[in-house]
Amino acid sequence: MGDYQEQIRERLRSYTMLDDAFMSAVLTDNVPGTELVLRTVLGKPGLKVIEQHTQHQLKNLRGRSSVLDVHAIDDEGTRYDIEIQNDAAGASLRRARYNASLMDASALEEGASVSELPECYVIFITRTDVMGQGLPLYHVDRQILETGEAANDGSHLVYVNCSCTNGPEPLQLLINDLRCADPDKMTHEELASRARSLKDGNEVNLMGTYLEGIFYKGKAEGKVEGKAEGKIEALAESAVSVTRKSGVSIDDALSMICVPDNLRDTVREAAEELDSQAAK
């Protein structure tokens, strides 16, 4: 067990907040950390988060879902989706449109008017410059093409380019923290204290759980070789393994091993069946 824990710690030492699992763990139940990110990126020093969830699943009317890295709501009702994306495909404009639509659908009560839709921000924090213009921030909003005027529908998209080194000082300090693997060299204690606890403190077991998910996801992908039945079985076995080793629920295990949305219900049923058979 001691060797295993040391292996976990060794892997964790290289993690930064540009690893989505580590970002989610750092911001879990960490409202000051989430406020810091949002205030810095959006230039809103008075922004106050009243509710947040990490690895939060939202579904559309057809049952298709997406897991948001960090979903937050401020005291004015504005919704935020903070996503760590390390490739251009994951940070596409259509992905932002889809995530925003899910937040919109979940924001309105039955019978409410669409005029009551709150402001909504999708924020992609990217390791590379996916827009390719060398800027630290990109703001994407709708526009009336003929006049150049903003078409303010309340939906906003922001890209944070973490490869940029010449942004405004507050943003640059945040980017440096997001890229930093050593909590003792981070500027903001709202992020550093939690990162330190996850890497070397009493929360190291939480990150061990995330690593279990990563390991079993890879194991499942290695077994399936594109066969549908084998894929379901392998993912179900992986989910059960994560549950037994880490003590999380089946649903949490499915998120940790990144089960595709269209397979989630089927894999859940298979995993529950495997778990019940093992208990007999």
pLDDT tops 70 at residue 3: no
57 C-beta neighbours (distance < 10 Å), count: 16
**CA atoms of 108 and 208, how far apart (whole Å):** 37
Counting residues of the chain whose pLDDT is more than 90, the rounded percentage is 38
pLDDT digits (tens, 9 = 90+) for 58-83: 655 455 556 678 889 999 999 999 99
**63 φ/ψ sector (left φ>0, alpha ψ -120 to 50, else beta):** left
3-state SS of the chain is: CHHHHHHHHHHHCCCCCCCHHHHHHHHCCCHHHHHHHHHHHHCCCCCCEEEEEEEEEEECCCCCEEEEEEEEEECCCCEEEEEEECCCHHHCHHHHHHHHHHHHHHHCCCCCCHHHCCCEEEEEEECCCCCCCCCCEEEECCECCCCCCECCCCEEEEEEECCCCCCCHHHHHHHHHHHCCCHHHCCCHHHHHHHHHHHHCCCHHHHHHHHHHHHHHHHHHHHHCCCHHHHHHHHHHHHHHHHHHHCCCHHHHHHHCCCCHHHHHHHHHHHHHHHHHHHC
Band (28; pLDDT cuts 50, 70, 90): confident
Query: Which residues, at least 6 apart from 209, have a Cβ–Cβ distance to it below 8 Å?
Result: 242, 246, 247, 248, 256
**What pLDDT does 270 receive?**
87
Between the alpha carbon of residue 73 and those of residues 18, 196, 226, 244, the distances in Å are 22, 26, 39, 33
User: Which residue is it, tokens 């079993």?
Assistant: 216
Which residue did the predictor score with more confidence, 93 or 226? 93
pTM of the model: 0.74
Q: How far apart are CA 41 and CA 27, in angstroms?
A: 16
pLDDT digits (tens, 9 = 90+) for 256-274: 666 766 677 888 888 888 8
Scan for tokens 């778990």, then name that residue: 275
Tens-place pLDDT, residues 180-192: 999 999 999 999 9
